[in-house]
Amino acid sequence: MSKSERVEKAYAVAKEICTDAGVDADKAVAALEKIRVSLHCWQGDDIKGFEVRDADVVSGNTVTGNYPGRARNIGEFRADVEKVLSLVGGRHRLALHAIYLDWPTKIDRDKLEPEHFKSWMDWSREKDVYMDMNQTYFDHPKANDGLTLTHPDAAIRQFWIDHGKAVRRVSEALGKNQGSPCVCNLWVQDGLKDVPANRLVFRQRLIEGLDATFAEKLDERHLLDAVEPKLFGIGTESFVPGSHEFYLGYAQSRKKLMTYDTGHFHPTETLADKMTSYFLFNEKLMLHVSRGIRWDSDHVLNLSDDLVQLVTELIRGDFLPRTFVGLDFFDASINRIAAWTIGLRSIQKAFLIAFLEPTKRLQDAENAFDYTTRLALMEEAKALPWSAVWDYFCLKAGVPVGEDWLAEVKKYETDVLSKRD
């Protein structure tokens, strides 16, 4: 039996098993095909970007590892992204940072224009990949104090306000180009290592900086602004002005999206429980799905119960049309293309498992106070033959089934990556 015959046969049996359990495997496959995940540019090149710089800067991100083969220019970077997309079913998105512009000379961050991203727009249309964007408030001489929008010096704050505004205009152009909104995500690294003497002033500056950044009214059909809170970072252990409470208040009062990064909460906090609360009071959400180990370590996403529960909540509440699902991790100790592929395929698997949940039966049991049945069925659902459905999804999408993608990555490593310095 050929591999594809085996996959088809296993799927036919799996489908019947799913029907018995009260779920429709064909529908689950069709639903998964529609999910565009926003792939994060920063796994591809350890967030170096393509900005022309005068001098080295203090890096605002902690990327560990020095696996060979990092993309050194836009051509290599795009080839790598295209490789990943060829290994994963469905159509997707790509989240850029502002420092991934395509321009041969130095353009400072406050001077960015849509034309600096023109080649990305062409690429986006050609590949049918929707673009998202992030302002870059790190890796810059004016960010060397670890403060940007909350810096005590008004001139530095103004520079970063102008950066934020410029990138919003770029994002609007990207959204217009793709005929679908581009999410522009704002995360600032600002914070303090040790206990502050005046928390309030930092938060007041942050509000002022954000309001000035968002003052220009741009077209919501093309641009959606998101703000990303954080609990703490390396070097900002004691205080981050842009905390969860800060941004929730900000986003609600200014009608912005929140970006929930799964690594930005206490390690025992899970995001699944937050979805219904968030969506009862807010319209749209951006997710940065990550895997924190003990802290916001941004390990490569893998398939976990937490992840399945998170996406299950999006499906149960019919929140998917209001959610932008992005990834956020970077590991430079393994093959970067494999890292992207593993993370993207993992979240797809989580979605598939969630689509195969016999939700109605679980909720009927809950409504009848039959918590025994609820737990029993939840546990049985975990053993549904989702892997046969997954293989079928991949086969149907014309992408490698099972571990076959790895051989392709290894070949790409030999043919392409190993030739890079």
Catalytic residue (choose from 139, 228, 313, 331): 228
Active site residue 298: yes
Residue 96 phi, psi (nearest 5): -95, 160
230 is an interface residue for ligand RNT by CB under 6 A: yes
Q: How far apart are CA 402 and CA 387, in angstroms?
A: 9
Q: How many residues bind Zn ion (CB under 5 A)?
A: 3
47 lies in the binding site for ligand RNT (CB under 6 A): yes
Q: Which two tokens stand for residue 258?
A: 């929140």
CB-CB contact of 325 with 309 (8 Å)? no
Whether 261 is catalytic is yes
Asked if 42 is part of the footprint of ligand RNT (rule: CB under 6 A), the reply reads: yes
- Is 296 an active-site residue? yes
What residue has token string 């940072």? Answer: 97
Residue 226 backbone phi and psi in degrees, to 5:
-130, 150
Active site residue 357: no
Q: Report if residue 160 touches ligand RNT, rule: CB under 6 A.
A: no
Residue 187 touching ligand RNT (CB under 6 A): yes
Binding mask 264-293 vs ligand RNT (x if CB under 6 A, - otherwise)? ------------------------x-----
Catalytic residue among 46, 288, 349, 386: 288
Residues 329 and 339: beta-carbon distance below 8 Å: yes
Looking at residues 303 to 362 of the shown chain, list those that interact with Zn ion (rule: CB under 5 A): 328
261 near Zn ion (CB under 5 A)? yes
Kindly state the number of chain residues that form the binding site for ligand RNT, as judged by CB under 6 A: 10
Contact between 132 and ligand RNT per CB under 6 A = no
**What does the buried/exposed string (b/e) look like for 297-319 if buried means 16 or more CB atoms within 10 Å of the residue's CB?**
ebbbbeeeeebbbbbbbbbbeeb
Among residues 134, 213, 236, 341, the one that binds ligand RNT under rule CB under 6 A = 134
Q: Is 364 a catalytic residue?
A: no
Helices 3-20/25-33 angle, 10° precision: 120
Sign of CA dihedral 175, 178, 180, 186: negative
CB of 92 within 8 A of CB of 39? yes
Among candidate residues 59, 50, 67, 61, the one with its CA nearest the CA of residue 112:
50
Give the amino acid at 419: K
Q: Mask of contacts with ligand RNT, 243-262, x by CB under 6 A?
A: ------------------x-
Q: Which residues are catalytic?
A: 187, 228, 230, 261, 264, 288, 296, 298, 328
Instruction: Give residues in contact with Zn ion (CB under 5 A).
Output: 261, 288, 328
Instruction: Give residues in contact with ligand RNT (CB under 6 A).
Output: 42, 47, 134, 187, 228, 230, 261, 288, 296, 328
